[in-house]
Amino acid sequence: DFMQFIPINSRKTLIREIPYALPDERREMKAARYLNWRINREVNAEDTELINFVQEGMETSAYSSGPLAESEICLIDSAEKIRNSIPVSRLEVEPDTDEIVKINEELLENKDKKVKNIFDKNKT
């Protein structure tokens, strides 16, 4: 099975999925594919419900960010890529909407300067 997660906006993600298999018209393979589809449909519905509950919980005053499990390798990698690309996402307090772009550009500029300084130091 192949799954692709495409962010639409900060609150919505499109999930595309498709199973791939070698051609096989045997009855038992058709049954296995049908069962795979039914199981995936049920699991996806459960996942969607869980994600909605988590999202609702994150919007309450009781929510605080916590560590990711070490086993969540792909999630950790994705989160780090987001933090590197959008450094304003590292801030503890969300800036005013009209300030986000400006602050993010400043953080990116400072990051670029730090990287340049590291390379300049290594040249000497």
Last residue of a domain, one of 47, 64, 81: 64
Condensed to tens digits (0 to 9), the pLDDT of residues 40-88 reads 999 989 988 998 898 888 888 888 877 888 999 988 998 889 888 888 8
Q: Is the pLDDT of residue 115 over 60?
A: no
Instruction: Let me know whether 33 and 59 are in one domain.
Output: yes
Residue 114 belongs to what domain range?
70-124
DSSP assignment of 43-68 equals HHHHHHHHHHHHHHHHTSTT----PP
Q: 10 Å Cβ neighbour count for 16? A: 9
User: The whole model's pTM is what?
Assistant: 0.53
- Domain total for the chain? 2
Instruction: Let me know whether 50 and 92 are in one domain.
Output: no
Instruction: Let me know whether 40 and 76 are in one domain.
Output: no
Are 46 and 29 contacting, i.e. CB atoms less than 8 angstroms apart?
no
Instruction: Let me know whether 55 and 103 are in one domain.
Output: no
